[in-house]
Structure 1
Amino acid sequence: MNLSNGAELVNNLSTADTFFKRLKGLMFSKKLPAGHGLLIEPCQSIHTFFMNYSIDVLYLGKDLEIVGLDETVKPAKVGKYQKRAVSVLELPAGTIRKTGTKIGHYLLTI
């Protein structure tokens, strides 16, 4: 939930919090359905190699402030490196625009 504007970002969240889960991430998955998301922690940057679809990416600080974002990251790309990020939330492409999510917004509990 985006605490700053009340928009729901995810209602089905998976977590990648071990080395192998972070390494795999969304690679080789067929799609990321609406309402689903993957929280990767710790994480400061992402890639979309071995993916067949675009994603939106939120870079989160330790207080769940959005410190960076990438919209519609296409397959085989590298996201921005965010020094202040401690985790990353991967979402279906278009989620950021649809929910009006911005840098500086805060998320409610993940």
Structure 2
Amino acid sequence: MILYNLSQKTILTNNLKEAKSLPDKLLGLHKKTNPRSLLFKTRFGIHTFFLAKSIDVLVLNKKNKVSIAKTIQPNRIFIYNPCYSIVIELPAGTIRKSKIQKGDKLIIKKHTNKKH
């Protein structure tokens, strides 16, 4: 999937994967076959136990606007207001490089396979 910041007019990643399966949800970025950008639908928070590097985390509201943009260090627990249910994990530095701000509107689009 593509993650596009409509407010900043930038593509954040063109390799976003929704963690749907139990292994993807449990292992997240630990699973070597997963891309470096993951989308979770959860209300319980996330952790960075056993990750070697920091990650950037975006928490979105129901309108896909950024409510929280934060860098999380390894071996931490990150708990947020349970009214939010969409969390996106990105490589560390994405928030800074892309100038993501609270209130930015994000669009999540599936890749289209156009054959010519």
So what's the TM-score if we normalise by structure 2?
Answer: 0.78
Report the identity percentage: 38
Paired residue secondary structure (1:109):
strand
Residue 103 of structure 2 is matched in structure 1 by 104
Gap change, CA 1:16 and 1:38, over 3 Å in 2 = same
Matched, 1:24 2:27: yes
Gap change, CA 1:44 and 1:101, over 3 Å in 2 = farther
1:99 positional shift: 0.5
Q: One-letter code of the match for 1:17?
A: K
Residue 113 of structure 2 is matched in structure 1 by none
Partners of 1:70 and 1:25 in 2: CA distance: 18
Gap change, CA 1:97 and 1:44, over 3 Å in 2 = farther
Residue 75 of structure 2 is matched in structure 1 by 76
The structure whose Rg is larger is 2
Structure 1 segments, 4+ long, off by >4 Å, are: none
Gap change, CA 1:69 and 1:84, over 3 Å in 2 = farther
Q: 8 Å contact 2:43–2:83 — kept in the other structure?
A: no
Q: One-letter code of the match for 1:60?
A: L
- Pairing of 1:1-110 with structure 2 (within 5 A): 1-27=4-30, 29=32, 36-71=36-71, 73-110=72-109
So what's the TM-score if we normalise by structure 1?
Answer: 0.82
Partners of 2:20 and 2:70 in 1: CA distance: 21
Aligned residues: 105
Q: One-letter code of the match for 2:107?
A: L
